[in-house]
Structures are given as C-alpha cells and as structure tokens.
Amino acid sequence: MKAMVLAAGVGSRLKPLTDTLPKALVEVGGLPMLEIVLMRLKAAGVREVIVNLFHHAEKVADFLDSKRGFGLRVELSRETELLDTGGGLKKASWFFDEGEPFFLHNVPVITNLDLGAMLAAHCSSGALATLAVRERESGRRLLFDAEGLLRGRDSPSEGGVEWAKSPVPKAESLAFDGVHVLSPPVFTKMTESGIFSINRPYLRLAGQGERISAFRSDEYYWQDIGSAQKLESARARVKEKGLPI
C-alpha cells in the first residue's frame, strides 16, 4: 500500500522554531513529526511513501536518508513553490500507479486514529475519498448530510456557508483532521491545476455526485502542532500518555 505525507509547509505560526527547522522535523515526545507519521502509516500496512518538500527541503531529505526511509520505499516530490494540499498531491500523482486506495496525511497531525478501520470504511463505501472528521472548534468546517457525504463547507472567517450543490437540511458541520484515504480515479477527475487546496476538487466533485465520505474520528485523540500553543499541548499529552505508535 502507498501513502503521501504532506510535509512542504513553512510553519509560519511556529516561528522562530521553523526559521531553522522544517515543521516535519519538529519533535513531539522525542521524535520528529515526520517519523511519527511514517511509523503509524507503516503499522497500517503502508510500504511505499512519497513526501513533498519545500521549506528546508534538504534537511528533510537528509533526515530520511539517514534513517534509510524507516524500512519504507520513500520518494521525494520537491516543490519550487508551495502548491498547497491539492497541487502538491497532483504533482505526485505519478507515484500512485497501482490502482489501489492510498493514504494522504498532513505531517503536523498527531493522532491515534485507527487507520486500518478508516481504510476498511473507505473500501466498503465505494467513495472516491474518505476524510477523517470530528466535532471540534475550527474556523473552517465541512458540511455532511445524513449519509455522511460531503455537501459543502462552513467557513465563517471566509464568507460563511458554501454548498457543493444545493442546501441540505440539518447538514452537520465537522472539522477535518488532515487525514484522507483516496482512490486513484481522483486524479483523472482533478481538473484543477497549479496552487490549490484539495478541498476545491472535493467540493466540486461532491456537487457533481461523487462520493466524498466522512469517517468520524471523535473517539480518537487528535492534535495539530500548527502553533506554539498547540505544539506544547501535544507534547504535554504525549508526556502523559505516550506516543501513538
């Protein structure tokens, strides 16, 4: 099985730490975030990974080389400009040539999410993409109908509700965890190009009737390390409970 780890981000909210250190190598519980994510993917059955790079790219590449990819086949997708989540995935589409579902995982996310259960749910649902989502505070949420299908987004800070097609009564507004399972046909349907968020094709395709499904992750621990406060929260949790690997 294959996966992609999105590790190109600058980590501006973690400055000055990320002035000299890529966000992917910020440590929680004594291990770099990239190592934590790769070990969790490996435990879920992943054997081949592509990692996108931009900020302090050589430091990430050297780290992976020094660890010999943690026993995984690791490819690098170098970006000369930040392509965002969708653009980064599309640039790496050549890697996913086996026709099987794959994971897409943000590097600054620490979680004990059951990746195997999420993969099984994706395969049984026939979805084009499955997104780990939960009820939590967020300025950008996605809207799902009673069947757990994506129907729009709710972003108060960016103009409010945007429906993928038509309004859905009692649609549930949920925050996205930054962990996806996708099926390769997504690439032929991803007509966007350049710099774009993966949410853009998700919303467009949902409006065209494609199944973009929710995987409820409320029962699992989750924390992104996108700010100094969130990083300290993750470190405190790991100190108490241990690493989720």
For residue range 167-217, what is the model confidence (pLDDT) as tens digits? 999 899 999 999 999 999 999 999 999 999 999 999 999 999 999 999 999
Mean pLDDT of the chain: 95
Indicate if the pLDDT at residue 245 is higher than 90.
no
- Is the torsion defined by CA of 116, 119, 123, 126 positive or negative? positive
Confidence of residue 157 (pLDDT cuts 50, 70, 90): low
User: In this predicted structure, what is the pLDDT of residue 155?
Assistant: 83
- Give residues with Cβ within 8 angstroms of 143, minimum separation 6: 150, 151, 152, 153, 154, 161, 163, 168, 171, 172, 173, 174
Indicate if the pLDDT at residue 120 is higher than 70.
yes
- Residue range 25-76, pLDDT digits in tens: 999 999 999 999 999 999 999 999 999 999 999 999 999 999 988 999 999 9
User: In this predicted structure, what is the pLDDT of residue 139?
Assistant: 83
User: In this predicted structure, what is the pLDDT of residue 151?
Assistant: 97
Q: What is the CA radius of gyration of the chain?
A: 17
Q: What percent of the chain has pLDDT over 90?
A: 89
CA distance 90 to 240: 38
User: In this predicted structure, what is the pLDDT of residue 74?
Assistant: 97
